[in-house]
Structure 1
């Protein structure tokens, strides 16, 4: 996938690096030109309203800002599918528009699901809206790998599904906090994220196909850790779904994954105690204690040197 296929990353999204709990420091990405943002209210399916009254939509793909805005305005009233702008070519990763088209279909087919917001929200200060119930979200991992992953909240658990099984980047951890901080342990301020062992992709460009396939099955109540998809048919199946404007379960092989690996757990430490509802906005990781905090909780102005400290460590 080319860099032009996805929105440019903002300042706070770091380069790719394996990030574990209390991991080593990451380099800050240099500033790049940011895409145009179209402001509109948050989707009603998140169960919350942006207190600032703002959310963001990036203009991407070959269409002009006018045509893109026409296709995406008034989400509360119009859940029309945003068509994939180009055919799903073999050997190419799904673009932002492809992912957004799939999420629009999911919202229309499963209106009770929360989340399913534009993936670009998580890469900008606006952030994802907090989930309060069952939901799904496709994320761009925020790293140089241009990788798509899926998160979910079902049965009281936050889960992350990754067809490559790579370590979480700082950006992805922040995105997960934006969506699921409401489900963190209130005593320890730790967000537990389960990472089930799932089918891995053979083709280097198929991560987007897997996240959409998982999203459909999870919405249908399936345990995707036991599913074996027919990777050779996944792309043509998605093309047909786009033509019919309805997502259907992806083709499976006759065999099932009887030997399912263990589910790993990842803990993300939080320090935000503001009980802010709606969109948390920008979140950062304290360079002293390594916990993630909500920037607007700070009484002081942002540091000029880019060294962020949470309220506990700044005292």
Structure 2
């Protein structure tokens, strides 16, 4: 289970500018570690630093009807793209969503035939659409699938970074065994690079 963690001011520091601790590092380097909120938000901060016209999160958080999701939208922001990594608590699973025109593109490394109710609500809010338009406005994008139950956060970050760069996601292929080491290096260097 992924645990939402607030940064502990007393925890030993690992990457200070991203408020990551040695506990976050231990989760990342463990082959069976599921990424936590701290690691996901650290990666999203790097995406926004590298691509200022891409909105991933902002200080003004809008809670969605108490469902445990936060949508990071600033009213009146001028952005070219919006990319979000979403944690589906019912599936204990991270996935990526981004806006492309009037469509919400969903990139999910564990193929699913349906979304949980809370994920559907989040995506409807993101697209500002009514439920009757759900199937027409949400597109599940073809993508590489993970081969275990632990790597969803890694794939979600890789796909969010690709969406920020406007890469061709269906054509992307990653070496899953290298993704943890790659992300660790990126976080330590405070700069994301394409996952290979």
Query: Per the shorter chain, which TM-score range?
Result: 0.7 to 0.9
Which residues in structure 2 correspond to 1:1-315 (within 5 Å)? Answer: 1=1, 5-6=3-4, 60-61=5-6, 63-64=8-9, 80-83=17-20, 85-87=24-26, 88=28, 89-116=30-57, 121=63, 124=66, 127-129=70-72, 134-143=81-90, 145-166=91-112, 167-181=114-128, 184=129, 190-191=133-134, 192-251=137-196
In structure 2, runs of 5+ residues without a counterpart are 11-15
> Secondary structure of the equivalent of 2:18?
coil
Distance 1:153 1:96 in 2: 22
In structure 1, runs of 5+ residues without a counterpart are 7-59, 66-70, 72-79, 252-315
Structure 1 or 2, whichever has the larger Rg, is 1
> Secondary structure of the equivalent of 2:154?
helix
1:209–1:117 CA distance, 2 compared to 1 (3 A): farther
Distance 2:186 2:70 in 1: 29
Distance 2:185 2:86 in 1: 23
Q: How far 1:210 sits from its partner (Å)?
A: 0.3
Distance 1:247 1:123 in 2: 33
> Is the Cα–Cα contact under 8 Å of residues 148 and 207 in structure 1 kept in the other structure?
yes
Q: How far 1:86 sits from its partner (Å)?
A: 2.8
Q: How far 1:63 sits from its partner (Å)?
A: 0.8
- Give 4+ residue runs of structure 1 displaced > 3 Å after superposition: 115-127, 129-133
Q: How far 1:81 sits from its partner (Å)?
A: 2.5
> Is the Cα–Cα contact under 8 Å of residues 87 and 93 in structure 2 kept in the other structure?
yes
Q: How far 1:64 sits from its partner (Å)?
A: 4.4
Structure 2 counterpart of 1:304: none
> Is the Cα–Cα contact under 8 Å of residues 106 and 247 in structure 1 kept in the other structure?
yes
Distance 1:177 1:243 in 2: 35
Distance 1:140 1:148 in 2: 4
> Secondary structure of the equivalent of 1:90?
coil
| TM-score when normalising by structure 1 | 0.51
Distance 1:235 1:94 in 2: 10
1:244–1:130 CA distance, 2 compared to 1 (3 A): closer
> Is the Cα–Cα contact under 8 Å of residues 83 and 242 in structure 1 kept in the other structure?
no
Q: How far 1:242 sits from its partner (Å)?
A: 0.7
Q: How far 1:196 sits from its partner (Å)?
A: 1.2
> Is the Cα–Cα contact under 8 Å of residues 186 and 192 in structure 2 kept in the other structure?
yes
State how many pairs are aligned. 180
Higher normalized helix content (fraction of residues):
2
